[in-house]
Amino acid sequence: MNVTSTAARFSIAETTLDGLVCIQRKQQEDVRGFFSRFFCADELRAAGFRDPIQQINHTLTRRRGSVRGFHFQRPPHAETKFVSCIRGEVFDVAVDLRRGSGTFLRWHGQRLSADNHCSLLIPKGFAHGFQALSDDAELVYLHSEPYNPMAEGALNVLDPALAVAWPLPLGDLSERDANHPYLTTDFGGI
């Protein structure tokens, strides 16, 4: 991880997409094991999680290769997400959908696992998806906005406009995710 700043309990690494940062939890170890702070509003506000947590979601993805996403919420319900893997390993991907962004439609992917203690802090204006790299991968998401199905948008995980390099052949996909339309050329972002 190319650490660009540190907080007391976290190492923070910027990515090539402005505002998208990787947060690594520091462990305080002793003979019993370790203690780490999973999230800290004070320490992570400067990193980009500036609003109160509204929802915390938990997913189990049973089979290696499965993919969920890409999902986002449209303004004014756009949300900041803090995504962590607490079991197994995933390839976590965020796509820049910010209107006028210099990295519009660019994506960043990285491995999150129970062992690397890394989370992805995903700002508003990004779509999120992931591929399970292990069986029984569990994710915990912190959301800065409540779920609003009327504001939900999605991208197809195989959209050639994104050309995401998934590490594994695609496995399980929900019916809904399998049928998201590809982006049209007039899509200007959210």
Sheet holding 10-14, edge to edge: 5-6, 10-14, 21-25, 118-122, 81-87, 137-143, 55-61
Site string for ligand T46, 28-57 (x = CB under 6 A): ---------------------------x-x
Distances (CA, A) of 75 to 21, 80, 97, 136: 21, 12, 12, 33
Q: Which of 16, 54, 174, 179 touches ligand T46 (CB under 6 A)?
A: 174
Tell me how far, at minimum, the Cβ of 177 lies from ligand T46, in Å.
Answer: 6
Q: What is the residue type of 7?
A: A
Between 9 and 79, CB nearer to ligand T46: 79
Using CB under 6 A, which residues numbered 135 to 164 contact ligand T46? Answer: 141, 147
Tell me how far, at minimum, the Cβ of 57 lies from ligand T46, in Å.
Answer: 5
Distances (CA, A) of 95 to 7, 10, 40, 87, 103: 26, 24, 25, 24, 9
180 binds ligand T46 (CB under 6 A): no
Distances (CA, A) of 147 to 68, 97, 126, 176, 180: 16, 19, 15, 17, 19
Active site amino acids:
71, 141
Q: Are strands 21-25 and 10-14 parallel, antiparallel or unpaired?
A: antiparallel
Q: Which of 12, 129, 137, 157 touches ligand T46 (CB under 6 A)?
A: 129
125 binds ligand T46 (CB under 6 A): no
Q: Which of 130, 132, 156, 180 touches ligand T46 (CB under 6 A)?
A: 130
Q: Which residues bind ligand T46 (CB under 6 A)?
A: 55, 57, 59, 68-69, 71, 128-130, 141, 147, 174
